[in-house]
Amino acid sequence: MTIQDLKEKNLLLLECISGSKAYGLNTATSDTDIKGVYYIPKEQFYGLKYVPQVNNETNDEVYYELGRFIELLGKNNPNILELLATPADCVLYRHPIMERINPAYFLSKLCKETFAGYAASQIKKARGLNKKIVNPMEKERKSVLDFCFTIEGATSTPLKEWLQRNDMIQENCGLSKISHTKGLFALYYDEKGKLNYSGIQSSDIANEVSLSSMPAGEQLRALVFFNLESYSSYCKEYREYWEWVEKRNETRYLGNKAHGKDYDAKNMMHTIRLLQMAKEIALTGKIEVRRQNRAELLDIKAGKLDYDELLQLSDTMLEEIELAYTNSSLPDTPDHDAIEQLLVKMRKELYRI
């Protein structure tokens, strides 16, 4: 089933412009996102071809089957509650049967988790993203050698530096583990390269030092410590950083760099928006999609606030939200029996049962 099928077969129940245009936060470069609700023919619903969601390839047009839509409303999913409460000027089509669904039937204290909880996860993500932006990693990956150190008296020296100073190459080195220690090795050196030592690392992507068998009587050259924990941590950060680079929206990233504040400004704008909506729901029992503080939110998107200032604002709002939901008259959860009865009545009318 495609979006075109939904329209040609008159299965649409709701179609709205969503995202920044619904929020009133659109700018000249904003895309137009579409969301909607449909129902499937009776035969498909009773049979094996239930289709809960239909979207286009870029996911900027997403339509939910009526049952899935009601289910997500019952879970207080922010995107779905916003779709139901779309401002009138962004509603492209609304079937009369949709008037039976009132946001007030669904709003509950679950919104603290779905709105504010999600926002809190984005704040945590922003802290990690900020670290990536502020501390870019070199493309050339470090190796085991970069985390090895020779022990000299009460000090340590990077192994690479020690090898260079002693005119040695790592391939001619042999390591043997020192018993009852962790990460400590004895280093021997084959001047002529005839003893077939394994070197310190087998390759630049090795995850551990190489060990060698030592002939009797070989001269100990140094004690070497390999910081495996630090190396493992580096490898994890390196992988995550370059996966992020590969997947990031380059235009958005360059825009973030341009405003000079080193954070994902668009994401932080929507994080603050979600927190504001979460508090409003607790205090008023209503969901307002169109934001009345457009200038303030667009200033965040433009990078006009400092990163630490935004984090402090977020932390303060989370505390206020906790208090607001403690004192809120909203039910703990929606009335799922009533929701199910509503869905059954709607289906009966649509299928003319």
- Chain segment 301-319, per-residue pLDDT in tens: 888 888 888 889 999 999 9
Same domain for 275 and 339, yes or no, is no
Judge whether 53 and 65 are in contact, CB under 8 Å.
yes
* Terminal-residue alpha carbon distance, the chain: 24
pLDDT band at 132 (very low <50, low <70, confident <90, very high): low
Judge whether 303 and 259 are in contact, CB under 8 Å.
yes
Q: Tell me how far apart the alpha carbons of residues 118 and 107 are, in angstroms, rounded to a whole number.
A: 16
Cβ partners under 8 Å of residue 191, min gap 6? 172
The count of domains in the chain is 3
Same domain for 125 and 264, yes or no, is yes
Same domain for 221 and 131, yes or no, is no
DSSP 278: H
What's the pLDDT score for residue 304?
Answer: 87
Residue 243, in any domain of the structure: no
What's the pLDDT score for residue 126?
Answer: 61
Residue 259, in any domain of the structure: yes
Same domain for 68 and 204, yes or no, is no
- Model confidence pLDDT, tens digit, residues 160-192: 999 999 999 999 999 999 999 999 999 999 998
Residue 238, in any domain of the structure: no
Q: Which of 251, 195, 237 is nearest to 31 (CA)?
A: 251
Judge whether 151 and 225 are in contact, CB under 8 Å.
yes
Which is more confident, 225 or 255?
225
Mean pLDDT of 267-277: 93
**Strand, helix or coil for residue 17:** strand
- Model confidence pLDDT, tens digit, residues 143-167: 999 999 999 888 999 999 999 999 9
What's the pLDDT score for residue 121?
Answer: 83
Residue 292, in any domain of the structure: yes
Residue 86, in any domain of the structure: yes
Q: Which of 343, 336, 353, 345 is nearest to 106 (CA)?
A: 336
Count CA atoms within 13 Å of residue 204 on its CB side.
3
Q: Tell me how far apart the alpha carbons of residues 189 and 208 are, in angstroms, rounded to a whole number.
A: 19
What's the pLDDT score for residue 289?
Answer: 97
Q: Tell me how far apart the alpha carbons of residues 259 and 75 are, in angstroms, rounded to a whole number.
A: 37
Q: Which of 195, 228, 261 is the endpoint of a domain?
A: 228
Buried b (16+ CB within 10 A) or exposed e, 249-260: eeeebebbeeee
Angle, helices 118-134/265-284, rounded to nearest 10 degrees: 160
Residue 244, in any domain of the structure: no
Token pair belonging to 43: 């035969």
C-beta neighbour count of 28 within 10 angstroms: 4
Residue 124, in any domain of the structure: yes
Q: Which of 198, 228, 258 is the endpoint of a domain?
A: 228
Token pair belonging to 290: 């169109």
**Percentage, residues of the chain above pLDDT 70:** 92
Same domain for 282 and 219, yes or no, is no
Q: Please check the confidence at residue 103 and state whether its pLDDT lies above 90.
A: no
pLDDT band at 9 (very low <50, low <70, confident <90, very high): very high
Residue 64, in any domain of the structure: yes
Same domain for 39 and 50, yes or no, is yes
What's the pLDDT score for residue 249?
Answer: 58
Residue 85 maps to which CATH number? Answer: 3.30.460
**Percentage, residues of the chain above pLDDT 90:** 68
Q: Please check the confidence at residue 251 and state whether its pLDDT lies above 60.
A: no
Cβ partners under 8 Å of residue 299, min gap 6? 305
Same domain for 259 and 222, yes or no, is no
Token pair belonging to 148: 């090895």
- Model confidence pLDDT, tens digit, residues 326-351: 999 999 999 999 999 999 999 999 99
- Model confidence pLDDT, tens digit, residues 76-88: 999 999 999 999 9
Buried b (16+ CB within 10 A) or exposed e, 292-316: eeeeebbebbbbebebeebbebbee
C-beta neighbour count of 210 within 10 angstroms: 18
Same domain for 253 and 132, yes or no, is yes
Same domain for 74 and 211, yes or no, is no
Q: Please check the confidence at residue 244 and state whether its pLDDT lies above 90.
A: no
Mean pLDDT of 16-31: 93
Same domain for 153 and 222, yes or no, is yes
The dihedral sign for the CA sequence 224, 228, 234, 238: positive
Q: Which domain holds residue 208?
A: 144-228
What's the pLDDT score for residue 254?
Answer: 47
Same domain for 56 and 120, yes or no, is no
Same domain for 46 and 117, yes or no, is no
Judge whether 177 and 249 are in contact, CB under 8 Å.
no
Judge whether 219 and 132 are in contact, CB under 8 Å.
no
Mean pLDDT of 85-92: 96
Q: Which of 228, 263, 283 is the endpoint of a domain?
A: 228
Q: pTM above the 0.85 mark?
A: no
